[in-house]
Amino acid sequence: MNLWQQRRKLASVEVESGSATIWAVGFICLLVALALGITLLSGVLAAKARAQNGADFAALAAAQTYFYGGETAPCAVAEQVARENQVSLTACSLQVSDVKVEVSVKAPANWLLKAHSRAGPRLSGNRAC
């Protein structure tokens, strides 16, 4: 066996030595990063849904108080409903035909998510299909 053949046999063994460990560590790091990303994304989506639900409920409560009467101010009712839904009311405006509210909620990674909603009585000119 000549020198070239001996080097080829040794090179194939030495180059491959320990590569499975490197691949396994890399794959595990990839899985951990993917799991953390999915967890963060699901937390953000849950917070966004909570913000939108809180905005919708606050707008409906304020509109009911504004258009159909109530003992308290519509924006105070919207703030109370928003607080009960674990969101913060950031804006409330009463208009001729509807009530508009904006809420915010803290999401994972300390992000601030906002949601808008408006509600009011059905006008006779607008007909649903």
pLDDT value of residue 12? 55
Percent of the chain at pLDDT > 90 equals 61
Residue 55 Cα distances to 58, 65, 111, 114, angstroms: 5, 15, 18, 9
Q: Is the pLDDT of residue 100 over 60?
A: yes
pLDDT value of residue 31? 97
pLDDT value of residue 129? 44
| Least-confidence region, from 9-13, 30-34, 65-69, 104-108 | 9-13
pLDDT digits (tens, 9 = 90+) for 5-59: 666 665 555 555 678 888 999 999 999 999 999 999 999 999 999 999 999 999 9
**One-character DSSP codes across 20-54:** HHHHHHHHHHHHHHHHHHHHHHHHHHHHHHHHHHH
CB 57 within 8 A of CB 77: no
Structural domain spans, the chain: 26-119
